[in-house]
C-alpha cells in the first residue's frame, strides 16, 4: 500500500502522472512477494515527503501492471527509474540506500 505522498502508478495514469510530470519522478517497480521491495518501502515514503513539491515518487506493482514492466524492460525487482521530461534519466536495480536515492533525485532536479 502506498503512502499518502506516493503515486500508485497504473497503465491509465502513467502517461499523465509520470511521462507528463513537470517534476522528476522516481518510479519503483515492485511486487508484494519481493522482500527487498518491502524493505525499500519506508525509504520511499520518507523521500516522497521530503521531496514534496520538488520531485514525485511512484510505485508500479509489476504483478498488476505487467504491460508497464514490459514496456520499460524490467527484468528484476526492485528496479528504480527516474523520469525527467518524460524520459528515463537514471536506472538502478536492487536495494539502494536513502543516501543514494537522494543523490539520484538531486541530480535529476538540478539537471
What per-residue confidence (pLDDT) applies to 111? 85
Grid cell, residue 105, equals: 533525485
**In contact, 7 and 13? CB cutoff 8 Å:** yes
Question: Using an 8 Å Cβ cutoff, are 101 and 80 in contact?
Answer: yes
pLDDT of 3 reads 59
What are the tens digits of pLDDT across the range 73-84? 999 999 999 999
Q: Which of 16, 24, 15 is nearest to 101 (CA)?
A: 24
In the chain, where are the structural domains located? 6-101
pLDDT of 1 reads 45
The structural architecture, per CATH, of the domain 6-101 is 3-Layer(aba) Sandwich (3.40)
Residues serving a catalytic function are 34, 37
9 C-beta neighbours (distance < 10 Å), count: 23
Could you read off the pLDDT of 8-32 as tens digits, one per residue?
999 999 999 999 999 999 999 999 9
pLDDT digits over 31-75, tens only? 999 999 999 999 999 999 999 999 999 999 999 999 999 999 999
Amino acid at each position: 500500500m502506498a503512502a499518502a505522498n506516493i503515486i500508485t502508478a497504473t497503465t491509465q495514469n502513467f502517461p499523465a502522472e509520470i511521462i507528463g510530470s513537470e517534476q522528476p519522478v522516481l518510479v519503483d517497480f515492485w511486487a508484494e512477494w519481493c522482500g527487498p521491495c518491502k524493505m525499500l518501502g519506508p525509504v520511499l515514503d520518507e523521500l516522497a515527503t521530503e521531496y514534496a513539491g520538488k520531485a514525485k515518487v511512484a510505485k508500479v506493482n509489476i504483478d498488476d501492471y505487467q504491460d508497464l514492466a514490459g514496456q520499460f524492460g524490467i527484468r528484476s525487482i526492485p528496479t528504480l527509474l527516474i523520469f525527467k521530461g518524460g524520459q528515463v534519466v537514471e536506472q538502478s536495480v536492487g536495494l539502494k540506500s536513502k543516501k543514494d536515492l537522494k543523490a539520484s533525485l538531486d541530480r535529476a532536479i538540478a539537471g
